């Protein structure tokens, strides 16, 4: 199967799902008008907590199907899709950002009413998102997909009378990239999801125990990983509270940020998007300063070759995805592949924090 065919199938599936999704929301609204407890009905019928949230509010938007972890692994094992793996993931992410803006239920009291679409109109919307057959890649041209929500940064703050984009620019957020606290969230979530959740829930006194790799890691590579706490290796610390561990991670992020600023001069950094720099900080945090400095990924980033940096850093075959087992053979590690996927999403401003 080609990349174009895969994405064509993805859009076809989501097109039919959108029609059913919109009808379900219409029926749910009718049940609400009869004063039925629709959220409980949805729960009793196996609808997940996160999906039930989409039934709240008077104006609701589509929640498209996404690529599952099992599908990702199958793509990596496919002879025809493996080479386009990262391109497919990025294009699916980009398409889903548009699909997320398709309304399924519209409040008639909205100042600008969005008309409900007929089946034929829905087909046209999805057709406009398709890949051109000859050259591949996303459709280029004017960004005017109909029936989508406005860009939130273009909305006017009622308290200041200025677009939110003006405020973003003043805060240094207009060109993408993460605030340090957001980069902290990214690294916590990708290094230790349980630590991330405890931190977000305020369980700062809960104890964190250092580990030596998951059962999967040890079975695949025939050895334990180095002792790690909060993603930090070589600290000698075997246990700490959540608050103490997060403090160590913050300090380490600052250290790696300073290192990146040392090895890439300011006159070159100003031409590198902040989100790409953030991904490099995460990469250094995970693989170490020496491994990064001696890599082609670093040289490409230094030369301003962003696509080359992506390839050498994040590609499943060429990137930082392999572990040397006890037999001396390097093997692609599933955990590292997933980490590199998320760092690429971070670089492209596509990463979303887990719920």
Residue 262 pLDDT > 60 = yes
Q: What is the pLDDT confidence band of residue 145, given thresholds at 50, 70 and 90? A: very low
Where do the CATH 1.10.530.40 domains begin and end in the chain? 180-347
Per-residue pLDDT, averaged over 194-216, amounts to: 86
Cα 280 to Cα 290: distance, rounded to the nearest angstrom: 13
More confident residue, 116 or 56: 56
pLDDT value, residue 227: 78
Compute the distance between CA of residue 261 and CA of residue 60 in angstroms, rounded to an integer: 43
Indicate the CATH number for domain 180-347.
Answer: 1.10.530.40
- The pLDDT confidence band at residue 135, using thresholds 50, 70 and 90, is very low
Percent residues over pLDDT 90 in the chain: 30
Strands (E), 266-333: 322-324, 330-332
- pLDDT at residue 107 above 90? no
Please give the pLDDT value at position 51. Answer: 64
> Quick one: which of 37, 60, 145, 148 has its CA closest to 107?
60
pTM to 2 decimals? 0.56
Q: Is the dihedral of CA 270, 274, 279, 282 positive or negative?
A: positive
Those residues whose C-beta lies under 8 Å from the C-beta of residue 86, and which sit 6 or more positions away, are 310, 314, 315, 316, 341, 344
Q: How far apart are the first and last CA of the chain?
A: 33
Residue 228's H or E segment, with its range, is strand 228-229
């Amino acid at each position: 199967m080609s990349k174009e065919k895969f994405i064509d199938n993805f859009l076809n599936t989501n097109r039919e799902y959108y029609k059913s999704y919109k009808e379900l929301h219409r029926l749910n609204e009718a049940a609400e008008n009869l004063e039925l407890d629709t959220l409980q009905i949805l729960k009793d019928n196996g609808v997940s907590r996160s999906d039930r949230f989409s039934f709240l509010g008077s104006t609701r938007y589509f929640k498209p199907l996404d690529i599952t972890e099992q599908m990702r692994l199958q793509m990596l094992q496919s002879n025809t899709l493996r080479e386009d793996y990262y391109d497919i993931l990025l294009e699916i992410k980009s398409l889903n950002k548009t699909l997320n803006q398709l309304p399924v239920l519209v409040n008639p009291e909205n100042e600008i009413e969005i008309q409900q679409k007929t089946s034929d109109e829905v087909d046209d919307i999805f057709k406009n998102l398709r890949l051109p057959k000859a050259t591949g890649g996303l459709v280029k041209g004017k960004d005017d997909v109909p029936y989508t929500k406005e860009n939130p940064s273009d909305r006017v703050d009622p308290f200041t009378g200025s677009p939110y984009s003006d405020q973003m620019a003043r805060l240094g957020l207009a060109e993408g990239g993460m605030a340090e606290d957001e980069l902290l969230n990214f690294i916590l979530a990708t290094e230790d999801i349980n630590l991330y959740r405890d931190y977000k829930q305020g369980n700062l006194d809960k104890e964190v125990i250092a580990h030596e790799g998951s059962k999967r890691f040890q079975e695949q590579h025939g050895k334990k990983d180095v002792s790690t706490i909060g993603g930090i290796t070589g600290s000698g610390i075997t246990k700490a509270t959540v608050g103490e561990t997060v403090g160590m991670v913050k300090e380490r992020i600052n250290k790696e940020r300073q290192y990146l600023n040392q090895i890439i001069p300011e006159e070159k950094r100003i031409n590198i998007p902040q989100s790409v720099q953030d991904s490099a900080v995460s990469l250094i945090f995970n693989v170490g300063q020496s491994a990064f400095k001696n890599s082609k990924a670093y040289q490409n980033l230094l030369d301003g070759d962003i696509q080359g940096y992506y390839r050498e850093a994040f590609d499943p075959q060429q990137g930082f995805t392999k572990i040397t087992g006890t037999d001396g053979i390097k093997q692609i590690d599933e955990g590292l592949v997933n980490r590199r996927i998320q760092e690429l999403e971070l670089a492209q401003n596509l990463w979303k924090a887990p719920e």
